Amino acid sequence: MNFIQNYSSLAGRLLIATIFLMAGISKIGGYEGTQGYMEAMGVPGGLLPLVIVTEVVGALAIIIGYKTRLVAFGLAGFSIISAVLFHLNFSDQMQSILFMKNFAIAGGFLFLVANGAGLVSVDNGMPKK
Contact present, 51 and 27 (Cβ < 8 Å): yes
**pLDDT of 6:** 80
Contact present, 79 and 105 (Cβ < 8 Å): yes
pTM as predicted: 0.92
Q: Smallest Cα–Cα separation from 74: which of 5, 1, 17?
A: 17
Evaluate if residue 128 carries a pLDDT over 70: no
Q: Smallest Cα–Cα separation from 16: which of 94, 109, 93, 85?
A: 109
Greatest Cα pair distance, the chain, in angstroms, is 51
Contact present, 81 and 91 (Cβ < 8 Å): no
Q: Give the mean pLDDT of 12-17.
A: 97
Other residues' Cβ atoms within 10 Å of the Cβ of residue 114: 9
CA distance linking residue 60 with residue 20, whole number of Å = 9
Q: Which has more pLDDT, 122 or 5?
A: 122
> pLDDT band for position 127 (50/70/90)?
low
**pLDDT of 32:** 97
User: Which burial class, exposed, middle or buried, applies to 37 when counting CB atoms under 10 A from its CB (0-12, 13-18, 19+)?
Assistant: middle
